[in-house]
């Protein structure tokens, strides 16, 4: 069998290269051999959330997987025909549901299939987009690219116990190239969800944010096993989508937010969203163009691995306020399903 070898230590050398590689392996029906998994992390190898994502994709793509174990530093992933499924899964830790959804949504949707999934784990955890970011920011960006999904948050799940639960439905896509060039509005919205923290404390923190920026706010108490809170600030218009999110830091008793990242950003995408749209952009007909403040390691890694697997072309140019990225897709007509 002809495997495409991918060095998991390239670029940021973390979970992003795992996610992108197995997503594109499924979509393009290309067997991959992923080595040096999470080489640049303190504790290398596969974590629970990576394993859950791989095992769900194994079911969806009828794949053969070699080496899928906790701590494994290499796997072989051999996809087959992708199917529409209804599944119930449990990460059994506070592992990030949002990062797993980043894997499942594009595979199912771009392959013109459907998925109904109920999954338990962490809805709002460190080093991961919050569930509200997925619900309000990623969903909008994917929708404009032709990828449709809906999320119902049944229960929040914070670190360390998790126990969150969501239901997601993913629908067949017609992938489109898009442009996210320039932000022309400043209609900031804030959503804060919390559990087992006083409402007064949450309101106090949000009022401090309102002293610095003009924002419309919504606060929701949602029961969870552990105490915790998640905050999202976002802005959406015809030419831009961006958001910043943060978990409540119990040590400093506050949200750790860099408000300048959204208040003083006139470009097309926030840095987190930029790397999330690379995979669908690589498979859309035509050029997707977006502007960002910086080229993160995640974005650079995603561009590298996506071009290697799909054969798409990309370019990065410096502009006065940041960078312009162009991804020329290969068109999903080339997908072998």
Per-residue pLDDT averaged across 288-294, rounded?
A: 97
Q: pLDDT tier at 76 (50, 70, 90 boundaries)?
A: very high
Domain limits, CATH 3.30.360.20, in the chain: 189-263
pLDDT at 8: 82
Q: pLDDT tier at 192 (50, 70, 90 boundaries)?
A: very high
pLDDT at 334: 43
CATH number attached to the domain at 1-83: 3.30.110
What are the structure tokens assigned to 160, written together? Answer: 């360390």
Q: pLDDT tier at 207 (50, 70, 90 boundaries)?
A: very high
Per-residue pLDDT averaged across 5-12, rounded?
A: 81
Q: pLDDT tier at 287 (50, 70, 90 boundaries)?
A: very high
* H or E stretch covering 180: strand 179-180
Per the residue annotation, which of 10, 33, 50, 298 is the catalytic one? Answer: 298
Q: pLDDT tier at 38 (50, 70, 90 boundaries)?
A: confident
Separation between Cα atoms, residue 21 and residue 79, nearest integer Å: 12
Per-residue pLDDT averaged across 99-127, rounded?
A: 96
Nearest CA-CA partner of 323 in 259, 260, 258, 275: 275
Per-residue pLDDT averaged across 56-79, rounded?
A: 95
pLDDT at 302: 92
Percentage of the chain lying above the pLDDT 90 cut: 85
Flag whether pLDDT at 170 surpasses 50. yes
Domain limits, CATH 3.30.110, in the chain: 1-83
pLDDT at 333: 45
Yes or no: say if 147 and 109 are a contact pair by the CB < 8 Å rule. Answer: yes
Yes or no: say if 118 and 164 are a contact pair by the CB < 8 Å rule. Answer: no
pLDDT at 15: 77
Per-residue pLDDT averaged across 314-318, rounded?
A: 97
> Quick check: is 298 catalytic?
yes
Separation between Cα atoms, residue 7 and residue 5, nearest integer Å: 7
Query: Average per-residue pLDDT in the chain?
Result: 93
CATH class as words, domain 189-263: alpha beta
Q: What is the pTM of this model?
A: 0.94
Yes or no: say if 291 and 323 are a contact pair by the CB < 8 Å rule. Answer: yes
pLDDT at 332: 55
132 Cβ contact partners less than 8 Å away, ≥ 6 residues apart: 124, 191, 193, 230, 232, 245
Flag whether pLDDT at 337 surpasses 70. no
pLDDT tens, residue by residue, 211-252: 999 999 999 999 999 999 999 999 999 999 999 999 999 999
Per-residue pLDDT averaged across 165-188, rounded?
A: 96
């Amino acid at each position: 069998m002809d495997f495409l070898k991918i060095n998991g230590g390239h670029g940021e050398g973390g979970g992003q290269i795992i996610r992108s590689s197995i997503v594109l392996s499924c979509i393009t029906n290309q067997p991959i051999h992923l080595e040096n998994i999470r080489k640049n992390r303190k504790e290398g190898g596969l974590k629970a959330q990576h394993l859950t994502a791989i095992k769900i994709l194994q079911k969806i793509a009828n794949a053969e997987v070699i080496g899928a174990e906790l701590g494994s530093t290499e796997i072989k992933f051999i996809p087959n025909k992708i199917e529409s499924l209804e599944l119930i899964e449990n990460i059994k830790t506070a592992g990030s549901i949002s990062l797993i959804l980043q894997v499942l949504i594009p595979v199912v949707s771009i392959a013109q299939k459907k998925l109904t999934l109920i999954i338990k784990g962490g809805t709002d955890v460190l080093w991961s987009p919050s569930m509200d970011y997925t619900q309000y920011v990623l969903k909008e960006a994917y929708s404009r690219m032709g990828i449709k999904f809906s999320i119902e948050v049944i229960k929040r799940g914070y670190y360390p116990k998790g126990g969150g639960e969501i239901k997601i439905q993913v629908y067949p896509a017609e992938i489109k190239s898009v442009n996210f060039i320039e932000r022309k509005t400043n209609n900031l919205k804030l959503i804060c969800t919390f559990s087992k923290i006083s409402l007064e404390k949450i309101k106090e923190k949000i009022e401090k944010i309102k002293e610095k920026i003009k924002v419309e706010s919504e606060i929701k108490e949602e029961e969870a096993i552990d105490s915790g809170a998640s905050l999202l600030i976002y802005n959406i218009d015809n030419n831009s989508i961006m958001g910043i999110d943060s978990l409540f830091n119990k040590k400093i008793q506050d949200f750790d937010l860099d408000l300048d990242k959204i208040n003083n950003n006139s470009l097309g995408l926030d840095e987190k969203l930029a790397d999330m749209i690379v995979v669908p952009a690589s498979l859309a007909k035509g050029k997707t163009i977006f502007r960002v403040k910086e080229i993160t390691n995640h974005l650079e890694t995603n561009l590298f691995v996506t071009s290697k697997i799909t054969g798409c072309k990309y370019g990065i140019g410096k502009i006065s306020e940041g960078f312009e990225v162009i991804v020329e897709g290969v068109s999903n007509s080339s997908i072998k399903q």
